[in-house]
Amino acid sequence: MSIPTSYRRVVLVRRPPGEPVESDFRVEEVPMPEPKHGQVLVKVAYLSLDPYQRGRMREAAGYAANVALGEVMTGGVVGEVVKSLHPTFKVGDIVEESLGWQEYAIGGGPRMRKVDSSLAPISTANGVLGMPGMTAYFGLLECGEPKPGETIVVSAASGAVGQLVGQIGKLMGCRVIGIAGGAKKCAFVKNELGFDACLDYKAEKDLDKALLAVCPKGIDVYFDNVGGEISDAVLRNINFFGRVALCGSISQYNASSPPMGPRLLGTFVGKRVTLRGFIVFDFVERYPTAMRQMGEWIKAGKIKYREDIVEGIDKAPRAFIGMLRGENFGKMLVKM
């Protein structure tokens, strides 16, 4: 395979105080690096755009290091090893690792993993068989603890994680209600993914009332991807002994300081609600089991997934900004 002498990548050049704009990023061409001992050179096939990446653009460090100004944006990729000085990975291997928004990258860190391209399209290593898949699996099963017959509500229901949460919930014997933005997404969630119902938060005038209508036995588990007013409505209607998996808060990511909302913590006392924040990496030792299970479900046609793919690394900033607005429809990917 012929390897070019330069490649393109996206670096962060400004920390946005609110919603990011394209000029917060710069697409730049840089010389092709050479892998050192223990490293590989990866030709990226797909870049994964995920909401957590907004957090890495901040000044303050969160649970992982932020992106320094002038440095490549954080992001998971799947691609092919085109050069290898690594003892395990060889040229031609398809691998997945968090290598950033770039067309080529030096890989070979402890979290690099080989992707079995015979199982499913390799893009799924960034989705259902990757971080979003593991997030849905462990977040729902470990933090949500759903029991057959219970009602689960998941926000951002057509997104990378949400679409899987609902389908896993159905496989667990639960009633599953999605919340998504727009009639198209809701129709997909209900008709294609098999959720029992999906509420369009943009169309519903009274989300509390709409939730009560589709959750006649209340809400036992809430898988929260969005925070804000949508979550307020769900949390006001959560059942006694309800569980909340705090996965994300995309409605708040562009805020420079926490916006105001109704104080609901007090209502969780008498209802004995448990809320648990989690990060998928906490479950990393159990990924193999979960990957096997997800793979089996996919092969059996029990789990479907939808991807939203743009082409070209230069499209990444715009696609990312759109995703934070909810403009994507399915797992957001950039194909190189």
Q: Which residues bind a second copy (CB under 8 A)?
A: 55, 62-63, 224, 227-228, 231, 240, 246-249, 252-253, 257-279, 282
Q: Minimum distance between the CB of residue 217 and a second copy, rounded to whole angstroms?
A: 18
Cβ distance to a second copy smaller for residue 46 or 52: 52
Contacts of 111 (CB under 8 A, 6+ apart): 97, 98
Q: Minimum distance between the CB of residue 284 and a second copy, rounded to whole angstroms?
A: 14
Token pair 């969160």 in the structure block, residue: 62
Cβ distance to a second copy smaller for residue 42 or 67: 67
Contact 176, 152 (CB under 8 A): yes
Cβ distance to a second copy smaller for residue 163 or 249: 249
Distance CA 186, CA 177 (A): 10
Cβ distance to a second copy smaller for residue 238 or 321: 238
Token pair 């990729």 in the structure block, residue: 77
- The token pair at 166 is 């609902």
List, in sequence order, every residue forming a beta bridge with 243; answer none if it has no partner: 221, 274
CA 77 to chain centre: 13
- The token pair at 326 is 């909810």
Distance CA 241, CA 67 (A): 39
Distance CA 175, CA 231 (A): 18
Cβ distance to a second copy smaller for residue 111 or 272: 272
Distance CA 222, CA 80 (A): 38
Cβ distance to a second copy smaller for residue 110 or 262: 262
Distance CA 3, CA 69 (A): 28
Cβ distance to a second copy smaller for residue 10 or 143: 143
Cβ distance to a second copy smaller for residue 93 or 224: 224
Contact 165, 278 (CB under 8 A): no
Q: Which amino acid is at 46?
A: Y
Q: Which amino acid is at 20?
A: P
CA 204 to chain centre: 25
Distance CA 331, CA 118 (A): 21
Cβ distance to a second copy smaller for residue 46 or 138: 138
Contact 54, 74 (CB under 8 A): no
Distance CA 140, CA 159 (A): 15
Q: Minimum distance between the CB of residue 241 and a second copy, rounded to whole angstroms?
A: 9
